[in-house]
Chains A and B, each alone.
Chain A
Amino acid sequence: MEIDWGLFAELFGRTFTFWWVILPAILLGLIVGAIPGFSAANTIIILLPLTLAMEPEIGLIFMVALYASSRMGAGIPAILVNIPGTAGAAATPLDGYPMTKQGRAQQALAISFVSSVFGGLLTTILALLAMPWLSQVAYHLHSVEMIVIMLFGISLIATIAAKDTLKGLIAGFFGLMIGYIGADVVYETPRGTFGFLELYDKVPLIPALVGLFAVSEAFAVIEGESILTKRGMEAMQKAGWAETWEGVRLAVSRWWHIIWTSIIGLVIGVVPGAGAAIASFVAYQQSKTFSKTPEKYGTGHLDGLVAPESANNGVTSGTLIPLLVIGVPGGATAAIMAVVLQYHGVTVGPDLFDSQPELAYGAFTAMAVTYAIMILTVLPLARYMSRITVVSTTYMAPIIISFTLVGAFVPRAYVFDMYLALAFGVIGYVARKTGYHVAAILIGVILGPLLENYFLRALRISQGDVMVIFSSNLGDVMWVMLIVSLFVPMYLDRRRKRQAEQAVPTTTDC
């Protein structure tokens, strides 16, 4: 596939003239991204009458802008109030929220925006440049390889569990067990559903997400006047524009980190069906593995915020590749975009580059332009958004409960899901109060069923031979990488501790 750069440049300029479509789409995307339960995919479905009425080019620009900005929107509540807007932002609060509590919400938002935008912009360009090669990824990452990728994400449980390994692992494995509720993918046998039909299709993610993070948080924070620490409150009172710039400076100083973690997102995004949640967990895990200061992760560490935010925006660009190159969408949003274009008589697939190059390249230019416009329009808002953290918990807790329960309802429109979110809220509350990590439970709930699906698929393909998991060369290389990335940090950690012991008394890690 030859890339027509002239056309690309022309389109780039042309896309800017559609700022009047992009701006409202960005605004809408930020809102729907920030409310748990809403996503770019279901917003496009809701707005189908509108998108179907648009010209295909404008419709595409609108959808792409909405998609990219919703990804960024999901990080905002994750940082400010510990509520990831979508599963793709589930790793964001790990370090984003501690920053908020320290009164550095504005900085954290700026870091998230810059990482998202540069991660997104870079991967959009990379996606275009490397399309012929990247499109091959989907041909090589099959069930077996995906099992290993899932394990990379799940191994984050062990990393998070560093403080009390036994309790951390219990939380993670409990999450995995909860994730196995529902019918198995082969014979569709319902398991552990307590007789609820609503649980046959596995535990729905949004109720689990808002329950574990938000509802439990709301019940916990009422003990204090604000979600901020005392020092955090003082810092917030003093915060001015300088905080935003400091955030930008810090993020830019981590440019290399943004690059490689967003590429993780890009590559995972290319695999049909993988998604942003797995990408952000893997990026966080890898970031910590190769960090010189892994003990600081979870306490408001810059890299711990940069990694998931860059990665989940990398996924956004990645999902367009299988859609355009092999005609198979990488995720739900891309699939719905294809439906809308189909309605206009545009068949999305490899021929689009020849038949309607303005649409094929247009998808990427729209994304690039959205990111460019987004950094200019959203960054100044960080200061105002961050003010939400000084609101008293008297108001905050009920608002969080009510709006996240609404979010739990939205994806499937079952009132059952609101009860489910409440049940997860109780689990999350008990976990917080007794020293179990809710993120470890959530990783299990999200990745457990995915791992099982790939595992059962691999077993089905091999007709029951478990050794199938070592049957591919690429997979075997990935197994080695997994083992290395699990044990190297342990070795480094031990060495560091030994060195530290020689200098000062032992410090506790996070």
Chain B
Amino acid sequence: MSDENGPDTGKPAKKAAGAELVLPVAGLIFTIYYFTTIIDVPWTAQVSAFFVGTILIGLIIALIIRTVIQVRRGEASLSLAPLIAPRDYVPKRLALLGLTLSYVFFIEWGGFTITTFLFLLCSMLLLSGGKKKGLILTISLILSVGGYFLFIVVFNTRFPKGPVETMLHGVF
């Protein structure tokens, strides 16, 4: 379980500082990339980003120094454990991520209703470990059909439309 907006890593004896560096390193790479896009532009486009970006780089360097000191003192390790803990859930989580990516990828072709139905069905079955098939089927069906009425019929959103929407277009 995650904490409300913050961390919730089971604390090992040594602080896993490696994981803590993932976001700052990503931030550092992004900031450097950002800087490369504003080298040759009017100063108005540079001023805020250079100001904030320089502070961010400074903060990240400070964190890296802090981590190095902690590792040297033996208070922390460069482990990435919190990122993947608990390990038992890694396959499930990766599978859910894969399903989510496929959902977004296929919605352009399959349309909202059927893609949502399949996503809900597959991901709930994944999380339940294949149990309660009937209930999951019912929930997926109700939500995707309900979603169709709410988003497409009532709110007329410009969702990609697939076979279901096309078929029902004349009806609603």
Scoring B residues 26 to 67 as 1 if CB is less than 8 Å from chain A, else 0, what string do you get? 110011011001100110110111001101100110110010
Q: Which listed residue (B3, B30, B100, B136) contacts A401, Cβ 8 A?
A: B100
9-residue interface stretch from A11-19, A185-193, A313-321: A185-193
B69 at interface, CB cutoff 8 A: no
B164 at interface, CB cutoff 8 A: no
B68 at interface, CB cutoff 8 A: no
Q: Quick check: A427 and B23 within 8 Å, CB to CB?
A: yes
Q: Which listed residue (B41, B103, B128) contacts A187, Cβ 8 A?
A: B41
Q: Quick check: B116 and A46 within 8 Å, CB to CB?
A: no
Scoring A residues 320 to 333 as 1 if CB is less than 8 Å from chain B, else 0, what string do you get? 00000000000000
Q: Quick check: B82 and A177 within 8 Å, CB to CB?
A: no
B158 at interface, CB cutoff 8 A: yes
A221 at interface, CB cutoff 8 A: yes
CB-CB under 8 A from B101, the residues of chain A are 422
Complex CA distance for A292 and B134, rounded to whole angstroms: 53
Q: Please, which residue of chain B has its CB at the minimum distance from the CB of A449?
A: B48
Which has the most chain A C-beta neighbours within 10 Å: B5, B45, B101? B5
Complex CA distance for A390 and B145, rounded to whole angstroms: 24
Count how many chain B residues have C-beta atoms less than 8 Å from C-beta atoms of the other chain. Answer: 73
Q: Which of A98-138 contact B (CB under 8 A)?
A: 98, 101
Scoring A residues 51 to 94 as 1 if CB is less than 8 Å from chain B, else 0, what string do you get? 00000000000000000000000000000001000000000011
Q: Please, which residue of chain B has its CB at the minimum distance from the CB of A216?
A: B2
B1 at interface, CB cutoff 8 A: yes
Complex CA distance for A49 and B11, rounded to whole angstroms: 57
Which A-B residue pairs are the 8 nearest by beta carbons? A435-B7, A220-B2, A184-B45, A398-B123, A192-B34, A173-B56, A413-B158, A174-B27
CB-CB under 8 A from B170, the residues of chain A are none
Q: Quick check: B9 and A434 within 8 Å, CB to CB?
A: yes
Closest approach, in angstroms, between the C-beta of B135 and any C-beta of chain A?
Answer: 9
CB-CB under 8 A from A433, the residues of chain B are 2, 7-9, 19, 82-83, 85
Q: Quick check: A432 and B8 within 8 Å, CB to CB?
A: yes
CB-CB under 8 A from A192, the residues of chain B are 30, 33-34, 37-38, 49
Q: Quick check: A94 and B5 within 8 Å, CB to CB?
A: yes
Known: A166-B66, A397-B123. 17 other contacts (CB 8 A): A170-B27, A170-B60, A173-B55, A184-B44, A186-B42, A186-B44, A186-B45, A189-B41, A221-B2, A395-B124, A402-B147, A410-B151, A413-B157, A427-B23, A433-B2, A434-B82, A439-B5
Q: Quick check: B123 and A401 within 8 Å, CB to CB?
A: yes
Closest approach, in angstroms, between the C-beta of A209 and any C-beta of chain B?
Answer: 13
A145 at interface, CB cutoff 8 A: no
Scoring A residues 416 to 451 as 1 if CB is less than 8 Å from chain B, else 0, what string do you get? 001100100001001111111111000000001001
Q: Quick check: B124 and A170 within 8 Å, CB to CB?
A: no
CB-CB under 8 A from B163, the residues of chain A are none
Q: Quick check: A437 and B44 within 8 Å, CB to CB?
A: no
Scoring A residues 200 to 233 as 1 if CB is less than 8 Å from chain B, else 0, what string do you get? 0000000000000101010111111001010000
Complex CA distance for A451 and B52, rounded to whole angstroms: 12
CB-CB under 8 A from B53, the residues of chain A are 177
A500 at interface, CB cutoff 8 A: no
13 contacts between A and B (CB under 8 A): A101-B4, A177-B34, A177-B56, A193-B37, A394-B127, A401-B103, A402-B120, A413-B157, A415-B107, A427-B23, A433-B8, A434-B9, A435-B7
B149 at interface, CB cutoff 8 A: no
Complex CA distance for A251 and B113, rounded to whole angstroms: 41
Scoring A residues 155 to 192 as 1 if CB is less than 8 Å from chain B, else 0, what string do you get? 00000000100110111011011101101111101111
Q: Quick check: B49 and A180 within 8 Å, CB to CB?
A: yes
Q: Quick check: B7 and A432 within 8 Å, CB to CB?
A: yes
CB-CB under 8 A from A220, the residues of chain B are 1-2
